[in-house]
Amino acid sequence: MAVLHHSLDFILSSPVDSASTVPSLLSIFHEQEMTETVHDTKGHGYLATLVGKHGRLALLRVHSHGMVTIDLQCYQEDSVAEVDNLLNALEKKLKALLSGNIKRFKRLPALIRGAEVDRYWPTSDDRLIEYDIDQVLYEEDSAYQNIQILHSKQYGNILVLNGDINLADSDTAYTHAIMGSGKESYTGKEVLILGGGDGGILAEVVKQKPKMITMLEIDQKVIDGCKTHMRKTCGDVLDNLTGDCYQILVEDCVPVLKKYVQEGRMFDYVINDLTAVPISTEPEDSMWEFLRLILDLSIKVLHPSGKYFTQGNGVNMTDALTLYEEQLEKLSCPVGFSKEVVCVPSYLELWVFYTIWKK
């Protein structure tokens, strides 16, 4: 039983006296059988809490700096019409009382707290975003992470790993960007995919008939969930761990990369589709050292004329992007890089993708 948190905010041109606004608002609450407790705010304006039937709770504040805020919490099973009427009555009354003094009025969509299906997945720069998620299709805690596949009305099915949105059915722009935005040909090439358990990249690269794709995905449970619930993204490439021109190794990429380096194996393309903070069985020092280790090993197995693609971060995460680029200067082999800003529909923020090559 979720709590709906409604808010009405009146931002004023100049402060108002609570005596001129409060009594007629209280009378609206009284009609709804809500009774108030007035608090001593030690000089920070007027504050009353109101408790009513069905677990309804309201806060009425007349802020001394020129704002009136009303919060109303009620349970989702409470009458929508009754709650709406109450909010409408409060809005109408306050607009009349504060007429000419309102700089901005804001009534936000209610915050839904504790719903069966959670709809809030903030952006990388920690902004509040409400998704249109209506169903949890898959939820597993693997040895490595929490895995969810959610359904969004507009984006289709979405893979969420440890609370981070990875990929939705709508996100061919992601796969396109991390494959070089249509500027590369994979035909006849040796390709290494790190991570990529949703199968999106694999399904796209396979279409171009490469010589061989090796995909290193640590988590069988991601593959299991995606091959059932992300078929629009992966097609049938996850149904078997090997195909005409690909093999999926369900392994930690770090020891495999180390082995490839020792063997002198080379790839034309390395696509790093690992989670933002990669999961590994290897001991981690700091996150950045670990990221650099993966980068270093990847560049070592990259053909001199090859390319390494990876996703970076939200475009607003300028500090994290700078730190990432600083790691590129510390690799054992000098590299060049370019970046591209791409709109991935389900991310609800612009995302930076990197192309890296041996200098």
Contact residues for a copy of itself, defined by CB under 8 A: 1, 3, 5, 7, 9, 11, 37, 39-42, 44-45, 47, 49, 51, 53-55, 57, 59, 61, 63, 65, 67, 69, 71, 73, 104, 106, 108-109, 111, 113-114, 118-120, 122, 125-132, 153-155, 170, 173, 314-316, 343, 345, 348-350
The residue (of 56 and 189) whose beta carbon lies closer to a copy of itself is 56
User: Which one-letter amino acid corresponds to residue 155?
Assistant: Y
What's the rounded Cα separation, in Å, for the pair 201 and 274? 12
- Residue 26 CB, shortest distance to a copy of itself, in Å, is 16
CB atoms within 10 A of CB 171: 26
- Give the tokens for residue 211: 């010589």
- Residue 244 CB, shortest distance to a copy of itself, in Å, is 33
Cβ pair 249, 215 in contact under 8 A: yes
CB atoms within 10 A of CB 162: 14
At 250 the three-state DSSP class reads coil
Cβ pair 278, 326 in contact under 8 A: no
Is position 118 annotated as part of the catalytic site?
no
**CB-based burial, 255-273: b 16+ in 10 Å, e otherwise:** ebbeebeeeeeebbbbbbb
- Residue 65 CB, shortest distance to a copy of itself, in Å, is 5
What's the rounded Cα separation, in Å, for the pair 125 and 127? 6
What's the rounded Cα separation, in Å, for the pair 174 and 312? 11
The residue (of 54 and 207) whose beta carbon lies closer to a copy of itself is 54
Cβ pair 222, 148 in contact under 8 A: no
The residue (of 92 and 106) whose beta carbon lies closer to a copy of itself is 106
In total, the chain counts a number of residues equal to: 359
- Give the tokens for residue 19: 């005596």
Cβ pair 356, 310 in contact under 8 A: yes
The residue (of 186 and 351) whose beta carbon lies closer to a copy of itself is 351
Query: Minimal CA–CA distance to 94: which of 18, 6, 43?
Result: 18
- Residue 64 CB, shortest distance to a copy of itself, in Å, is 8
The residue (of 214 and 233) whose beta carbon lies closer to a copy of itself is 233
The active-site residue out of 78, 224, 273, 285 is: 273
The residue (of 61 and 307) whose beta carbon lies closer to a copy of itself is 61
Cβ pair 331, 296 in contact under 8 A: yes
Cβ pair 339, 353 in contact under 8 A: yes
- Residue 343 CB, shortest distance to a copy of itself, in Å, is 4
- Residue 23 CB, shortest distance to a copy of itself, in Å, is 21
Give me the active site residues, please.
273
